[in-house]
Amino acid sequence: MTALALPTPIVTTDWLADHIGQAGLMVIDASTYLASAGRNARAEYVSGHIVGSVFADLDWLSDERSALPHTFPSVAQFSERMGQLGVSSDDAVVVYDGSGQNFSAPRLWFMLRAFGHDRVAVLDGGLRKWVADGRVLEVGDPAIEAARFDARLDLTRLRDVDALLAMQGDPSAQVADARSPGRFEAAEPEPRPGVRGGHIPGSRNVHYARLVRDDGTLRSADELRAIMTQAGLDPTRPIVTTCGSGVTACAIVLALDAIGAPPAAVYDGSWTEWGGRSDTPVETGVAR
C-alpha cells in the first residue's frame, strides 16, 4: 500500500475532509485545558468529535512517575500507549484540539516528532474551524484496534533544568516563553500553587495565542517571523521553548517549523519546575 502523502506541519480542514477515513490515516483529539478554563476535554470529545478520531489524554501520555506535569514518558510507555490508541508506526497522523488557539495539539505533534514519527501534522484551526466549515461530527467512543508503534527518542529536542541553567549568561542563547504576558511579567498569579511568578532571565515572551488568527489558523510565515523578531528572537538560530508545563511551548515549535527555522527544543520541566525551585534565578517585568 502506498503511504499517504501528508503535508506538514499543518493540514487544512479541506485536506482532512478529502482524506478522512482513508487507510493509513489516524486523527487524534489531543485537547486539554487549564483547570481555570472549567472544561472537560474528555467529555467534550464524547459529545462531538471529528469522525473516526480517537482521544489522547496528555496526562496519560506523560511520565506518571514525575512530580512535574506533562514531562516526557519513557520510550516504552509512549510506544505502548500510542499503540493502544490504534496508531501504528506506518500511519500518517493528524492532531487537533478544541481550543481554537493551538493550545495542546502541537504538544502531541511535537511528542510524535521527538519520538521519531515525522508523518504528523496539526489540523489548522482545529475543531473550531472544522465545525465553522460545516463539517460532520460524531459522538461516543469509537472501537479501537490496537496497533504496533515503535518509538525512538531524539534527546536533542529536549532540555532539562541543568541545560537552562548553563545557558544563563550566554549571549547566544535564545529562550522563548509561550505563557501570557501577565504570567511572564509576574503581573498575574501562576495557576499552580507554590510556583513563583516571573520568567527565566534572558527569555523572551511569545504568547502562544498570538501565533494564530481569529479563526484559529496559523498566521502567515511573514507574520510569524515578525512576531519572533519583535520579541527579540532570531528565528534563523536555535531556540529553546518553555511555558507552564511544556504544552503551549510546542505551539512556538510548530510556528518555527512552519517558517523553516532550525528544529527547536522544549524545556521539559518548564516554568512549573523553574518557578517551583528556590535555586533558580527569576526575573519579573517585561523582557530585558
Separation between Cα atoms, residue 70 and residue 64, nearest integer Å:
9
Which residues are designated catalytic? Answer: 243
Give the type of residue at 286: V
Per residue, what are the HEC states of 128-145? HHHHHCCCCEECCCCCCC
Residues in the chain: 288
What is the C-alpha separation between 221 and 218, in angstroms, rounded? 9
Residues 113, 117, 121, CA angle at the centre, nearest 5°?
65
- Identify the DSSP state of 55: E
- Given a contact cutoff of 8 angstroms between Cβ atoms, the answer to whether 201 and 138 are in contact is no
- Phi, psi dihedrals of residue 137, rounded to the nearest 5°: -115, 160
Angle at 13 between CA 12 and CA 17, to 5 degrees: 120
Residue 44: all three cell numbers together: 467534550
CB of 198 closer than 8 Å to CB of 275 = yes
Category of 51 on φ-ψ map: left (φ > 0), alpha (ψ -120 to 50) or beta: beta
Whether 268 contacts 72, CB under 8 Å = yes
DSSP state of 263: P
